[in-house]
Amino acid sequence: MNSDLTQTPPHGHFAAINGIQMYYELYGEGTPLVLLHGYTGSSLQWQPFISEFAKRFRVIVPDLRGHGRSPDPLSQFTLAQAALDIFALLEQLGIEQCKAIGCSAGACILQYMATQQPTRLEAIILDSGGSYFAEQTRAALLAWVDSDDAALETQRHHHIHGVSQVRSLLNQLPKVVDSYNAQPPDLPKITTKTLIVFGDRDELYSVAIPVEMYTSIAMPICGSSLMAVMLALSRIQANMPQCSSAPHWSSCTMSGNKIGDDTERRKARQNMW
């Protein structure tokens, strides 16, 4: 048991969602902004950014099913089910439309959400989450399943049951990957303004995958963009400590145009929000 997570903080809440008590945190006022963490992560991933986001948004930060403080009694996590869980949470909170950022698996979940109920999402950022798992990606993920407990210490603090909870999630990973590939999100159905962000040295995804996503999603949608984070690995932890995926915003290209300074990067983000 992770004693640090046994107490519910002031911003923390639980909601009865699809047979579980989903944990989530609320901050700020304004347009709703949902932040979805990656696989084996938790809402803690977003802590370095919440104070800034909360100046402009009503920030909703859930722990996905089986992650953090949210249970998954059947240990049957899928990305498609996670999308249904987030829709149900939005319903409970009375939120008809929101903006959202998804990191890694969180980005995969947003793709499902954007294809199933496009009008619920005003704008989304997909950070390091592909529309399918290529063989290279699948092999790397399945190798992660065999990690020893020492290698899981970076994720332990995210979860109320510590390493045993991380191990349970990893044991489910082959089915998570295969179920996503068996029924991938239908990207041409996405009509939401979308920013796709990948590191150009991401060890899980080749550069071809975000380009493919961009051509599938963005061509019919005014204002959608592709941002490649140059000279960066996708799973860099400098800006998101203990996070499973967080590319740098250091030097970027968007739609083929170099974005090299803070002014241009701010303009790119403002166009999304």
pTM for the predicted model, two decimal places? 0.86
Beta strands in the chain (DSSP E): 12-17, 20-27, 31-36, 57-62, 98-103, 121-127, 193-199, 225-229, 252-254, 257-259
Helices (H), ranges, 183-261: 208-217
Look at residues 184, 191, 156 and name the one whose alpha carbon lies nearest to residue 170. 156
Cα 36 from chain centre: 4
Task: Give pLDDT, residue 252.
Answer: 33
> What's the confidence (pLDDT) of residue 225?
79
Q: What is the pLDDT of residue 229?
A: 67
The contacts of residue 223 (CB under 8 Å, 6+ apart) are 193, 271, 272
- Residue ranges of domains in the chain, CATH in brackets: 3-272 (3.40.50.1820)
Closest residue by Cα to residue 125 from 244, 22, 36: 36
| Nearest partner of 227 among 253, 250, 260, 264, judged by Cα | 253
- Residue 97 has a CB neighbour count (10 Å cut-off) of 13
pLDDT of residue 107: 97
Series of mean pLDDT values for 10-residue runs along the chain (273 residues): 82 96 98 97 95 97 97 93 98 97 97 94 94 92 84 86 93 96 93 89 85 80 66 42 37 34 46 54
Q: What's the pLDDT at 262?
A: 43
The pLDDT score that the predictor gives to residue 200 is: 81
